[in-house]
A = this chain, B = another copy of it.
Amino acid sequence: MERLKDFLESVRPKIDQFMLEVLRGEPERLYEAARHLPSKGGKRLRPALVLLVAKALGGTTEAALPAAASVELLHNFTLVHDDIMDRDEMRRGVPTVHVVYGEPMAIIAGDLLYAKAYEALLRSPQGSDIVKQMAEELTWAAVTVAEGQAMDMMFEERWDVTEEEYLKMIEKKTGALFGTSAALGALAAGRPELKDLLKEFGLILGKAFQIKDDVLSLVGDEKVTGKPKYNDLREGKKTILVIYALRNLPADEAEELKRVLGKRDATYEELERAAELIKKSGALDYAYKLAEEYERRAYEILGSLPTADEEALATLKELADFAVKREY
């Protein structure tokens, strides 16, 4: 994935500079809280997706940069509020915003990041017709992500979540912003007629990405992911792994797994045992296959694009591949 790595390295400073530029203001403590998470790294996959799609369709990085910064700001806004709701204390290897700044300030910092996502987007150099469409896309993503987050949270209280419901939930929670990122790339390149196709591509890619995220929460190395292992189990998240395991384990082992899921004060041994049961059920293999199937469909769409830049297209393919093969 050398292409992707080089590309991310070359655009990251531009994305970060644009983001930090709109995150200057007063009161200083609020802006400090808003900068906390964006300044602690992150993969920048969503803005990279905007920039790569724009480039692949003949646009420039400069013209797509405000939209790229915008989706990353929106993403960070959702993370800040999500961490409060899930009571998560670590992300990107550092304490979360509400842990450092307190919950009230973290709520406003999230709100500010959201507003700044629009501020960044509205600086796009395209004509008003295109910029209006961009704002519609960003709004659709914000609405849909909120719906997905609510579903994710409500699923914690239920044992009967189906795979179909799960797939709907991750399409909203994660797919929507990937979809919007790709759509914004098409708009930034002045190709509104390709917006819907690219959105479809992003949605599928986002689902593959989320499935891999679920897998990493179970088998990832927390030094590499930056998030505490087994968080999903402790919070009772109905991931594809849990849904598969509960359906396929013998009744007594399914019951044993259920006793640990959502147990906030579960011991590490209990969590390890729950993870072992999930692995035993064959859930990891099932999840990998599902993610790979999405990757394959994402490739298909890429293959059908009228591409202006073969190098950017090849990098996009690596990005789709990375979503599934990554270790962080």
Task: Name A residues whose Cβ lies closer than 8 Å to a Cβ of B.
Answer: 25-27, 29-30, 81, 84-86, 103-105, 107-108, 110-112, 114-116, 118-119, 122, 127-129, 131-132, 135-136, 138-139, 142-143, 146-147, 149-151, 153-154
Contacts and interface: CB of A to CB of B under 8 A. Distances in A.
Nearest to A123: B136
A115 B146 contact: yes
A81 B147 contact: no
27 contacts: A25-B143, A25-B147, A29-B154, A30-B146, A81-B108, A81-B111, A85-B104, A85-B107, A104-B153, A108-B146, A108-B149, A111-B111, A111-B142, A112-B143, A112-B146, A112-B147, A114-B114, A114-B142, A115-B142, A115-B143, A116-B143, A118-B142, A122-B136, A127-B128, A128-B131, A131-B132, A132-B132
A295 to B, nearest CB: 28
A122 to B, nearest CB: 5
Tell me what chain A mostly uses at the interface: helix, strand, loop, or mixed. helix
A188 to B, nearest CB: 15
Contacts of A128: 127-129, 131-132
A135 B122 contact: yes
Contacts of A104: 84-86, 153
B111 A139 contact: no
B150 A122 contact: no
A105 B150 contact: yes
A229 B292 CA distance: 59
Contacts of A27: 147, 150-151, 154
Nearest to A132: B128
A139 B122 CA distance: 9
A128 to B, nearest CB: 4
A115 B132 contact: no
A149 B118 CA distance: 19
Nearest to A33: B150
Contacts of A136: 122
Contacts of A151: 27
Given A27-B154, A81-B108, A128-B129, 20 more contacts: A25-B143, A25-B147, A30-B146, A84-B104, A85-B103, A85-B104, A85-B108, A86-B104, A110-B111, A111-B142, A114-B114, A116-B143, A118-B118, A118-B135, A118-B142, A122-B139, A128-B128, A131-B132, A132-B132, A132-B135
A99 to B, nearest CB: 16
Given A107-B81, A111-B114, A26 B132 contact: no
A180 to B, nearest CB: 12
A132 B122 contact: yes
